[in-house]
A and B are shown apart, each in its own frame.
Chain A
Amino acid sequence: MSPSVEYYCPCQASTPHPPQPNLASSSYSFHALHNLYFCEECDAIRCNHCVMVEVSGYYCPNCLFEVPSASVRAEKNRCARNCFMCPSCKNTLSVVPSDPPDNGDGRIPPTINAAGEPPFFLYCNHCRWDSAEVGITFEKPTGLAAQLQKFEDSAPESLEFERLKEHFEPYLPAASSALARDIPGVARYTPHALSRSRSGRDKNANRQEVPDYRARVEIGAVTTGYALGGGADPDVEFMRHLETVEEVSTLEQRWGNSWVTSPRSLDLKPLRIPLHSKKSKRCPSCRHILIKPEQKAQSVRYKIKLVAANYLPAITINLPHMQAALAMLRRSGRANAEPQDGTMLAGKTYPFHLSFTNPLYDPIQVRLHVQRALPPPHPNAPPEAEKTRRPPFAIMLPTQAFPIAAFAEAWEYDDDEDMFGVEEEDEDFDGARDPRGRSRTVGVLERRANVTVIGGEVMISKESRGDIKFNMLVSYTYRSDDPEPEEPGTPSRLQAQPKQPEMKTFSFYTVVDLGTIIVRDTSSVDMDS
């Protein structure tokens, strides 16, 4: 696995400090930079676990039709055009005409109907399922969804559900207002609940008196055809006469159905394709919008897009000894790389490079701090506890702040493209091979454009094992008036106005994963030879 750097979102914890990286649960709090958002108002990192998600539009993933939200409910969240899903493999079905009538002379008859010959049926290009085998054919190739939905809606369970909804409709506002009152926070998610509760108030007095509902469908008492899947005798009878496993539909094939359906795979019905949605995202604490997509379903642009990559320096990590090993392999022409050549052995010291890319239009000063931590004692391994409680490795990073130049417009860098491959790489490889390079491994190694590369070192103790993972606090200082000039009202700015270049500092935690320590016994021979 290649070394990685992930960023911490503090939403899962009560403290601003991240959990120990060697805990398995910590992976839930660390994210790749491209998955994070940044709230300008709160000056904080937000992740997909903590943002509030709202649907900003629905569309069909197959015909890409944008469905107005009014008709989403009537069409039961599924596409009402000609999009169907294969019940056995979830692929999209296509409408195909029947074979043209055979004249007996072997020639293709002149096409009478441009669309083909009725009856039409649905056919799966992947698994060759077709709707004719479950007895569904159509006279016209259009408006199939309406015909299928009619069929869905006439199912006894569906009718029963509609009646249930009707029955409870008058009590719904009262119930939802009670929910909003009793459980704090619910009201935020159901904006209609409060406004509707006015009408519900009057009924509050007699809300206990919901009349009894009489079901029209009795469980198990439906016609025998539907009783399949109910878990009663017909099911047992069907299972007894099974010849192949394929006769039973899989759980996955029945999972998306609203009610219990027959377990026979021959009874699977084509499904209308479920709609997808475009989502906008809000900051959980100040409710400012972080992500707002454009209305058009297939547009990939956003009206508002506050992603962390535009605010925080991007950090990438590089192990020079691994690169050198790869280069050596390539030179020697050995195609299959031996993994020992690039991994880390216990009891050795390795340099690593962190490259920081500044996304801001102002230069920043960055300071790094490694969170020193002992691994927690293992309760079930007492003899080893003494050893593991010692930090398994030590990290050396430059302690002084280092600058990263401002991000300029992209075109300014275009010319550099060809340059940076050739010259610097040679330099890099020399450094990795040359033992004299050791003297300069910790500190700023290189500065170009808006990228600064710094070197660090990891010293691995002899008995250590496991992953080299450590938390690193990154603080950067920037001029605060330029990045957000459109917001003149913030209090911190007003009081700080006299001091001309107002500096602000933002800190965030990252976890750096350098890789796994190889215990040196077998591989030490390779290294010496």
Chain B
Amino acid sequence: MDHPIYYPKSEYIETDTGNKVSRRATIAGPQNIILGGKTVIANGAIIRGDLRRTGPGHAVVISLGRYCLVGEGCIMRPPYKTYRGNFNYYPMKIGDHVHIGANTVVEAAQIGSHVEIGKNCVIGKFTIIKDCAKIADNTVIPPNTVIPALSLFAGSPGHFVEDMPESTQEMVEAMTKSYYSRFQPDPSSAAAQQR
């Protein structure tokens, strides 16, 4: 419960707004990525902010809200398609309190708030995930799927399993907040470094 998850202090960079980004994560095109604050990007994650819409000007490629977690080895890649003969990438928007499990590949167009995505999932291109939805571990969501609010999806291809409980929002919020507060630099490793 309250037991901390320690990480070596040197492994993560903490920003002013409390984001913790692993030095071992690959962040491509950081100028196109927005992190809402108190968001953790774990080791080995790959975030492709460089895959931006063609054209001049500044473009936000991937935006994450507050209290999110991008798990170890996750790949976040904006969706792309050829529309009227033009190949283009499209932005990916992710709300607050979204946890993405380890080794999951996300190419969604939109993920709402209070969403839990399990480990080893594939979230296909242009998927839309509404608030308080949950994707079980090892689920494959095909491209263009819409996942309605408060539903649990599992399987390959992912399909609706059951409704989530009415208190999902509070539970996910408490879970993501406690995860962030438990995710701390290891005091023993910090002491070892000073010596």
A59 to B151, CA, bound (A): 13
**Could you say which residues of chain A place their CB within 8 Å of the CB of B131?**
298, 300
B159's partner among A34, A90, A127, A300 (CB-CB below 8 A) is A90
The answer on a CB contact under 8 Å between A420 and B145 is: no
**Could you say which residues of chain A place their CB within 8 Å of the CB of B149?**
297-300
Which of B20-28, B41-49, B166-174 lies on the face that meets chain A?
A: B166-174
B146's partner among A62, A318, A425 (CB-CB below 8 A) is A62
The answer on a CB contact under 8 Å between B148 and A64 is: yes
The answer on a CB contact under 8 Å between B167 and A309 is: yes
A298's partner among B6, B143, B145, B148 (CB-CB below 8 A) is B148
B171's partner among A34, A64, A355 (CB-CB below 8 A) is A34
Q: What string of 1s and 0s marks CB contacts (under 8 Å) between B154-195 and chain A?
A: 000101100101111111000001000110100110000000
A224 to B176, CA, bound (A): 60
Q: Please give the distance in Å from B44's CB to the nearest CB on chain A.
A: 16
**Could you say which residues of chain B place their CB within 8 Å of the CB of A388?**
none
The answer on a CB contact under 8 Å between A300 and B145 is: no
Chain B's closest residue to A290 (CB) is: B166
From 78 to 100 in chain B, residues with beta carbon under 8 angstroms from any chain A beta carbon are 84-85
Tell me the dominant secondary structure on chain B's binding face: loop
**Could you say which residues of chain A place their CB within 8 Å of the CB of B29?**
none
From 176 to 229 in chain A, residues with beta carbon under 8 angstroms from any chain B beta carbon are none
Q: What string of 1s and 0s marks CB contacts (under 8 Å) between A84-95 and chain B?
A: 000001111010
From 287 to 317 in chain A, residues with beta carbon under 8 angstroms from any chain B beta carbon are 291, 297-300, 302, 305, 307, 309, 316
The answer on a CB contact under 8 Å between A34 and B165 is: yes
The answer on a CB contact under 8 Å between B169 and A300 is: yes
B16 within 8 A of A: no
Chain B's closest residue to A316 (CB) is: B1
Q: Please give the distance in Å from A477's CB to the nearest CB on chain B.
A: 25
**Could you say which residues of chain B place their CB within 8 Å of the CB of A426?**
187
A132 within 8 A of B: no
The answer on a CB contact under 8 Å between B166 and A92 is: no
The answer on a CB contact under 8 Å between B1 and A91 is: no
Q: What string of 1s and 0s marks CB contacts (under 8 Å) between A51-94 and chain B?
A: 00000000101111000000000000000000000000111101
From 1 to 47 in chain B, residues with beta carbon under 8 angstroms from any chain A beta carbon are 1-4, 6
Q: Please give the distance in Å from A317's CB to the nearest CB on chain B.
A: 9
A323 within 8 A of B: yes
A276 within 8 A of B: yes
Chain B's closest residue to A421 (CB) is: B4
Contact of A125 with B142 at beta-carbon distance under 8 Å, contacts A298-B131, A300-B132, A302-B166 already known:
yes
A-B contact pairs, 11 of them (CB 8 A): A90-B157, A91-B145, A125-B142, A126-B140, A276-B160, A297-B148, A300-B150, A302-B166, A307-B167, A316-B1, A417-B177
A316 to B148, CA, bound (A): 31
**Could you say which residues of chain B place their CB within 8 Å of the CB of A91?**
142, 145, 157, 159
**Could you say which residues of chain A place their CB within 8 Å of the CB of B184?**
421-422
Chain A's closest residue to B125 (CB) is: A125
The answer on a CB contact under 8 Å between B146 and A61 is: yes
A127 to B159, CA, bound (A): 14
B130 within 8 A of A: yes
The answer on a CB contact under 8 Å between B159 and A305 is: no
Top 3 nearest A-B pairs by Cβ distance? A126-B142, A126-B157, A91-B157
A34 to B177, CA, bound (A): 17
B54 within 8 A of A: no
The answer on a CB contact under 8 Å between B144 and A323 is: no
B52 within 8 A of A: no
B134 within 8 A of A: no
B66 within 8 A of A: no
Contact of A417 with B146 at beta-carbon distance under 8 Å, contacts A300-B131, A305-B166, A318-B1 already known:
no
